[in-house]
């Protein structure tokens, strides 16, 4: 399953903000330096979705705020349960 996300790095804490159109907005506590924000994003999503970290990967947008994330082993219904309905 693929998930489109919009990231804000250097936040006070990592948290889900909600849906902005068809993208999930997420605040990440790590700075956008040397891949720290990407690593925190993958760790954060794997923790929330209760999957191994290697099941969550960035497909596109490695250096951008808009990213396409691949998540293995998670049904769409679980995403709706964890993140709410898309706007």
| pLDDT digits 0-9 by tens, 22-39 | 999 999 999 999 999 999
Backbone Cα Rg of the chain: 12
Give me the pLDDT at residue 7, please: 97
C-alpha separations of 10 from 14, 31, 54, 55, 83 in Å: 9, 5, 23, 24, 21
Q: Please tell me the pTM assigned to this model.
A: 0.92
CATH number of the structural domain 2-82: 3.30.1200.10
Give me the pLDDT at residue 86, please: 63
State how beta strands 2-8 and 66-71 pair. antiparallel
Contact 11, 26 (CB under 8 A): no
Of 52, 43, 82, 59, the closest CA to residue 5 belongs to 59
């Amino acid at each position: 399953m693929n998930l489109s996300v919009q990231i804000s790095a250097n936040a006070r804490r990592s948290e889900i903000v909600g849906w902005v159109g068809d993208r999930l907005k997420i605040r990440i506590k790590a700075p956008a330096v040397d891949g720290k924000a990407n690593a925190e994003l993958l760790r954060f999503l794997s923790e929330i979705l209760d999957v191994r970290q290697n099941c969550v990967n960035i497909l596109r947008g490695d250096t951008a705020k808009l990213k396409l994330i691949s998540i293995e082993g998670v049904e769409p219904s679980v995403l709706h349960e964890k993140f709410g309905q898309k706007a």
